[in-house]
Amino acid sequence: MHMRTIALTGACVFLVTGCTTIRATSPQRSAQEELLISTATDRAAEALAAQIPANLSAYVDASAMRTDNRAEGVESIDRQYALAAIDDALLRRGVRLMPDREHADAVIVPRAGMLSTDERATLIGLPALPAPIPVAGEAVAIPALSLYQNTKAKGLAKFAASVYDPRTGKLIVSTDPAYGFSRESDGVVLFLFTWSHNDMGVDMSSDPVKVRDNR
């Protein structure tokens, strides 16, 4: 009886460790989330720049886009990227960017109403569970057993801007909200059959990652 107990215990340990996933250290956000947000940001920046009169010499007042410099979190990083994307979109549409407002025909004050992701998941099966036996002090989990799983993620960005004359303070244009969206869908059927689709021009499921031309 004692030998049978030992054998059963050994078999359980083998099965648990054989089908577990060990997660090492990882960044605060996944590459997928960063790609979703930055792609949506690029698209919203394009939509915003399309509403600004071309051939202006303009100073971009970033005060409405900045966050507290003492809090360098992911929101600050997203807004820094958003400012760079807006500058790039303006330049490509013929706006000349000035280093100060004194030499500019217009001041552009962009603002962000949304820079985030939205994720929804459907699972038919068993979710991932913590393993009862730790392995070498690492975080261990038993993978999800998915008869059917579908995860949909969206990147969302919303920008707007006020443009005014720096000498008179008179409004030149107040833009409509400019939106940018991106999406990705991943799924598993019967544990083995998987798919992954997105509109960002990147195949994250391939190794190495492949970049597609989505133009």
β-pair type (145-164, 178-189)? antiparallel
Whether 204 has a pLDDT exceeding 70, the answer reads: no
Confidence at residue 146, expressed as pLDDT on a 0 to 100 scale: 67
Peptide bond into 208 cis (omega under 30): yes
198 close to 184: Cβ distance less than 8 angstroms: yes
Structure-block tokens of residue 114? 């949304």
Burial class (CB within 10 angstroms; exposed 0-12, middle 13-18, buried 19+) of 203: middle
| pTM for the structure as a whole | 0.73
Among 58-67, 101-110, 152-161, 169-178, the minimum mean pLDDT is found in 58-67
